[in-house]
Structure 1
Amino acid sequence: MTKDNVTIDRSRQTSYPSAISPSRLAHQETLSRMLNAYLRETEQHDPYIRLATNPDLSLVIKLPRTNQRIFGNLLHRSAAGHHVYGDKFHIAESEEAQPDGWRELSFEQITTLLLDEISSVEPNLDVRMLKRTELEQMVYNSLEHMTSYLEHALNSPSPVTLDFRYLEQTLLCGHPFHPTPKSLEGFSFSDSHAYSPEFGVNFALNCFAAAPELVLEDWLDTVDYGSEAPWVPAEMSEAALTHLPPECRHYVLLPCHPWQAAYLRTLEPVKSLLQQGNLIDLGSTGPAVYPTSSVRTVWNPKDSCFYKLSLHIRITNFIRENNEEQLLRTLDASRIVQQIQDRWTSEKFQILLEKGYRSLKVPEIPSSTQDALISGFSMILREAPESSRSASGAPYVVASLMEVLPGETEPLLFRAVQESLQSSSSPDDRVHDVRVQTDWYAWLRQYLELSMVPLVELYAQTGISLEAHVQNSMLRLEDGMPAAFVVRDLEGISVNRTLAEQQGWIDQVVAANSPVLYTEEESRYRLKYYFFVNHLSHVVQRLAYYTGQMEQPYWKVVRHTLEELQKKTTESSHINDVICDLLNAETLPAKANFLSRFHQRGETPLYVNIPNPMR
């Protein structure tokens, strides 16, 4: 046994059988996420063990603050911490204990042990118990929602062929390093069934009309201002013509999520504006939209765009509303991306622009009330990929491609590759098992050429660090191979201030104090986490585990691709420095979601270091 990432026992490597219940599957998926997050955040990067007294066990999880250890089976040993576990866990007084001294642990008992260990970092007992209780509630909140999503998926037929909408709505288990990946605070059970993408729903948008002097908006293009803008849905324009009195026909339309509209109507400042007639509630107007993997961003297929709407609910770590700084960040980021779009984007590498935003801003009211109105009414318009409505060749959300649906034995990625191959071949030539018949090393090389290479080049030459984690990334396939890579959600990008200055963007494209500007160290740090740790390590683990291989040969493909890119650079260039850092740094940064969730640091998450798998 080497220290490389290895599948421990190939004879035991199985996906969940189709007979497994959604509840049990949700428990296993939740436990896997808690364990992976806990091990990563306590620097237990290689939890492999061999015990003379119990040779069937291969996993140890140390709980040093509470002086205990959990033992189990390690089915896959991952360089970046995406371990896969057996379904039985034990505890014993010591590693030397005889078989009768080992006690099997339930999901609830393991959860208690992990929460006790994590919470022990808080010295104040009262604060500790309060935070621990809240985190425990969110673990079970997430578990309950995940169970309902898996049950719905198991009882609902999947489409004959995969499509854009289905992949947007099939992120059933979520972030692989998060203790509460599907927690929702604010949605009732009926709300979730009406508005959660995991239930495959669509719904009509609501709309408000506001006096022009109360509207806060900014756009890349002047044509998008006001209610006559081409992006305003026809349904909303028709509702305004029908329901607005003549003296209010010049009011500006504000699209709104129906849940959020109901919430906003309960706020006193909103009630006051409605009574004064400065704000008019047009109710449910349409169009019909589909919630996507982020829940609050919805896809409008008719007008081929996305609306990133505000929702006053906590999804995982955050209340999902767009505050004024986030609106500014988003549009500043889009303005900078617009500067480089012609030179850096192509059919194979695309960045979806945020076209602008609109919200409500009432003068001469307390700042806290002002902030609540801006955040509550804010809406961001985003481009949709041109091929999103295509019957074939649409891009798929990478996070959903990594999911293994209940009753299935492999991630959706393998089905997507299979369908892509079948659509381009004759019946006699069709591949029947893509896991065996696809050269996955060549597949990964092509994937890296479309994603990693342009991301690194873009960062090194322009300073733009895209937040290309798996939920912000989409992949289009042709003949089963990667054909196009799409990045979305520009609010999370960071731009190297020094390079922005060199390109004349400061004070010309964005202000000197723009929240999108970062130091070189910060912007590079975010690139390392979002793409290499969050994104690439997940793809590598899925390819290795489900093809029955070790991870390290896939990481060698990553390293070789970076080395080939480095050969095209000069030693003194910035890109050479970036590549050397990626190849040789001992560690990479990883977000500590377990600790951040406990400490309630959604907006300012904690980070830890993990060993660099590319070394």
Structure 2
Amino acid sequence: MPRPDSDDAARADAYAAAPLLNCLLREVAEPRPGTPGRPEYRLPGTDRLLRVRGTRRPAGPEIRDTGGWHRLDHAGLVKLVAEELGALTGLANHELPAEMADSRAVVAALLAARARTAAPADPYRRSEQSLLTGHPFHPAPKARGGGPAAAWLPYAPEAYAAFPAALLGVREDTVVEDGDTSALDALGTAPPGYRLLPAHPWQLELAAPALADAFADGRLVRLGTTARDSWPTAAVRTVYTPAHDLFLKFSLDVRITNDIRRLWRHDLLRLRRVDDAATAAFAARPAGAAWLGDRGHRTAGFAYEELAVVVRDGLGGYLRPGTTPLLAAGLVEGFPGSPLERADPAAWWEAYLARVVPPALTAFADHGVVLEAHLQNTLVAVDAAGLPAQALFRDAEGVKLLPEVGREAGWERLVYTLVVNNLVEVAGALAEHRPGFDPWPAARRVLAGHGLPEAAALLTAPTLPGKTNLLLRWTGADGADARYLPLPNPLAEGT
């Protein structure tokens, strides 16, 4: 008889294995003929044979040896990946396998938390907090720095968390701010000689040693918490405060996917310039789309990055009447009540393309703004019938400007975020709900109709750029140093 917790362990393994397998199969493995429904691959570094079930979210990994095929649990898969990458690259890496194991442990803790917590009633919040798998092509998408669950679980969006922000008073002569941060002052009251500064409770715990002197000498004072809860979005360190219709993006000294999620000084110092460019690109509301502006940031000069908070526009001033915002990443992963469950795929897809693609291409072509238009930065407002009526984009930190990166590199980045990370995944989710659905003729029409030369060329290009998150992390490359490999282009005629 199986142990009572065996089903939970199998579910955690499956959630954690799928993105790791996606990375391994995309970046390393060589396809071989296999039985229907069980693709087989050769791992070139170790000359082993691997097979899985399924394609979009691979499962059930098995390795072949002299005794036949043997099932791998998540720990066995991590060991296999480490041995393969060590042999393939000649490099050792002890950090990434630990992150892979941590990601699986986080999933297990999230599943247990969900079993005792009701899902949010608000569909927008439900979509933001639905991502148990997370990034479908990252080897450790749910890692939380290796700490105990008690440290991070109260702040985990995937556990349907909600919590008040901590409130600090920062002595006026030490405050640093740029842009419009006035919305922060409505969150509480600072004593004379101080300015109000909200803080993420988890970050405040992580940064406690660095802040001890400032609390001791009065540069910082604790002012309790906000009167109302905020809830974390899919980005973990960004929270939404419904009472004030405001997003707050905090520093978080934890590695999540490829980066330590601190608000770095260099990004904060370019924030206004980038946000102004993105705001201008959306001023005419192309295809009804909107940009959620990052208005400015406030921090303390003695802890510039540790205590920084970015003020982001809420939804109220942008949403079309009668629409409901949903996170695109949540639509792809799935959540109860998702419109994809009942949608006519052709009509839904054409509406999605019409709302999401033209604004991103227009921002690039007319304004030199390269949106980071991936699934976690794209909100789709749906009408009463569940059809996409509007797109909203966010996060100035990930936006690039053509004078900074050059047109060719900027276009490659847009193709990766908009097409590979976004459209390919949404198309896959729709096809999963309606087998046989072909999304690409409609996508070709939208791209061909824009008039952008790069978009037209994309329709004949044999490949698309796929980011190599597994190899990037294994080789210790900077998280912002995107490296791409060619993927078959489903947009190309005849594919």
The reply on whether 1:151 has 2:81 as its aligned counterpart is: no
* Amino acid corresponding to residue 282 of structure 2 in structure 1: Q
- Alignment partner for residue 494 of structure 1, among 400, 418, 422? 400
If the length of structure 2 is used for normalisation, what is the TM-score?
0.91
Partner of 1:555: 440
Quick one: structure 1 residues 458 and 340, their matched pair in 2 at CA, closer, same or farther if it must change by over 3 Å? closer
Quick one: structure 1 residues 202 and 84, their matched pair in 2 at CA, closer, same or farther if it must change by over 3 Å? closer
Deviation at 1:20, TM superposition (A): 8.9
Q: Which runs of 5+ in 2 are unaligned?
A: none
* Residue pairs, 1:264-275, within 5 angstroms: 264-267=207-210, 270-275=211-216
Is this contact kept in 1: 2:463–2:486, CA < 8 A? yes
Q: Distance in 2 between matches of 1:88 and 1:322?
A: 38
Is this contact kept in 2: 1:387–1:394, CA < 8 A? no
The reply on whether 1:116 has 2:21 as its aligned counterpart is: no
Quick one: structure 1 residues 332 and 64, their matched pair in 2 at CA, closer, same or farther if it must change by over 3 Å? same
Deviation at 1:357, TM superposition (A): 0.4
* Amino acid corresponding to residue 490 of structure 1 in structure 2: A
Partner of 2:407: 520
Cα RMSD (Å):
2.6
Give SS of 2:244's match: coil
- Alignment partner for residue 307 of structure 2, among 377, 391, 394? 377
Partner of 2:457: 581
Partner of 1:485: 391
Is this contact kept in 1: 2:33–2:40, CA < 8 A? yes
Is this contact kept in 2: 1:206–1:286, CA < 8 A? no
Q: Distance in 1 between matches of 2:32 and 2:447?
A: 30
Partner of 1:455: 360
The reply on whether 1:299 has 2:184 as its aligned counterpart is: no
* Residue pairs, 1:362-441, within 5 angstroms: 362=302, 373-386=303-316, 393-403=323-333, 411-412=334-335, 415-417=337-339, 434=342, 438-441=343-346
Is this contact kept in 1: 2:281–2:369, CA < 8 A? no
Deviation at 1:48, TM superposition (A): 5.8
The reply on whether 1:316 has 2:257 as its aligned counterpart is: yes
* Residue pairs, 1:105-184, within 5 angstroms: 105-107=71-73, 108-123=75-90, 128=92, 131=93, 133-159=94-120, 162-184=122-144
Quick one: structure 1 residues 389 and 171, their matched pair in 2 at CA, closer, same or farther if it must change by over 3 Å? farther
Quick one: structure 1 residues 250 and 151, their matched pair in 2 at CA, closer, same or farther if it must change by over 3 Å? same
Quick one: structure 1 residues 260 and 109, their matched pair in 2 at CA, closer, same or farther if it must change by over 3 Å? closer
Q: Which runs of 5+ in 1 are unaligned?
A: 1-18, 77-82, 94-100, 363-372, 404-410, 419-432, 498-516, 570-574
- Alignment partner for residue 185 of structure 2, among 184, 207, 232? 232
**Higher alpha-carbon Rg:** 1
Q: Distance in 1 between matches of 2:59 and 2:98?
A: 25
Q: Distance in 2 between matches of 1:545 and 1:92?
A: 33
* Amino acid corresponding to residue 110 of structure 1 in structure 2: L
Quick one: structure 1 residues 198 and 303, their matched pair in 2 at CA, closer, same or farther if it must change by over 3 Å? same
The reply on whether 1:607 has 2:484 as its aligned counterpart is: yes
Is this contact kept in 2: 1:351–1:487, CA < 8 A? yes
Deviation at 1:388, TM superposition (A): 9.6
Deviation at 1:230, TM superposition (A): 4.1
Q: Distance in 2 between matches of 1:66 and 1:57?
A: 24
- Alignment partner for residue 326 of structure 1, among 239, 243, 267? 267
Q: Distance in 1 between matches of 2:418 and 2:361?
A: 10
The reply on whether 1:349 has 2:335 as its aligned counterpart is: no
Quick one: structure 1 residues 537 and 277, their matched pair in 2 at CA, closer, same or farther if it must change by over 3 Å? same
Q: Distance in 2 between matches of 1:192 and 1:64?
A: 38
Q: Distance in 2 between matches of 1:466 and 1:306?
A: 19
Partner of 1:504: none
Partner of 2:9: 23
The reply on whether 1:191 has 2:177 as its aligned counterpart is: no
- Alignment partner for residue 466 of structure 1, among 371, 383, 388? 371
- Alignment partner for residue 278 of structure 1, among 199, 205, 219? 219
Give SS of 2:390's match: strand
Deviation at 1:32, TM superposition (A): 1.8
* Amino acid corresponding to residue 91 of structure 1 in structure 2: R
* Residue pairs, 1:240-259, within 5 angstroms: 240=190, 244=191, 249-259=192-202
Deviations 1:160-207 (A, max 9, x none): x55222222221110111110100106421122211111212112112
Give SS of 1:343's match: coil
Q: Distance in 1 between matches of 2:59 and 2:11?
A: 13
